[in-house]
Structure 1
């Protein structure tokens, strides 16, 4: 049985530095979608090789997509999943089969920008990094 470590104590910084290959599961070719925004950011702002996994779309950002994580030709360091909660167990099973051992419930784009000290350059100019929606009364 695979073991999973959570990035709660030390944060994701060490994992982001050492990562070389990232897969974005159910990446979209539609610019308004969050997965497209994250894909374009990671492809242009990191030194990582970014793989796009989508069994329906054949090309994203000029790069061919893979139908599944098993189709990626090299070991992965990060799998960033854009799935509804009921689709995550399948992604997790594929990630474990690919040898991944880290489970991180954080946005890779936000953490990368925060770790590199420039979240405002990534489209966040609020000074607050949070996944919670602001309540406007």
Structure 2
């Protein structure tokens, strides 16, 4: 059964995170995924776009089709996909070696959470990373 991490755990995640792979990042500035990723980038995080539909760069960073293609370690996988796609994102996270998944507000799947936990991947679901960052770290740079 999924149990959300405590505020203290989430705060620690944010403090330890430097690189965020954003699965489902759009290149359209009016989309929530773009706005949240841009906000986190402005707060000092490195953003790596992950979306098979994107070519080139988004927010000045090279986009990748999958998590597995990213040639460097990722601290956290931020998910902007539908809940029913979270399980496959967790599978990719496990293969890529990342150890934390952050499913945005409205994204949750009990089976995906169980898969993550069984494979040593920490997960938070149904929570906006930018809002949590603002609340827990007073919106400051990490």
| TM-score of Structure 1 vs Structure 2, range by shorter chain | 0.7 to 0.9
Asked whether the 8 Å contact 2:7–2:136 carries over to 1, the reply is: no
SS at 1:12's partner residue?
helix
Alignment partner, residue 131 of structure 1: none
Q: Does 1:57 align with 2:54?
A: yes
Q: Deviations over 1:74-124 (max 9, x none)?
A: 2211111111111111101111222312101121111111122149xxxxx
CA RMSD of aligned residues (A): 2.0
Specify which of 27, 37, 40 is matched with residue 38 of structure 2: 40
The structure with the largest alpha-carbon Rg is: 1
Q: Is the 8 A contact 1:79 1:95 kept in 2?
A: yes
Aligned residues: 115
1:127 matched residue in structure 2: none
3-state SS of 2:65 partner: coil
The residue number in structure 1 matching 2:124 is 104
Q: Which secondary structure state, in structure 2, belongs to the residue aligned with residue 56 of structure 1?
A: coil
Q: 1 CA distance for matches of 2:27 and 2:73? A: 24
Any residues of structure 2 matched to 1:68-83 within 5 Å, and which? 68-83=66-81
TM-score (norm 2): 0.73
CA gap of 1:22–1:5, structure 2 versus 1, over 3 A, is farther
Rounded Cα–Cα distance in structure 2 between residues aligned with 1:54 and 1:73: 15
Runs of 4 or more, structure 1, over 4 Å off, are: none
More helix by share: 2
Q: For residue 50 of structure 1, give the secondary structure of its aligned residue in structure 2.
A: strand
Match of 2:91 in 1: 93
Contact residue 52 and residue 65 of structure 2 kept, 8 A: yes
Distance 1:9 1:54 in 2: 29
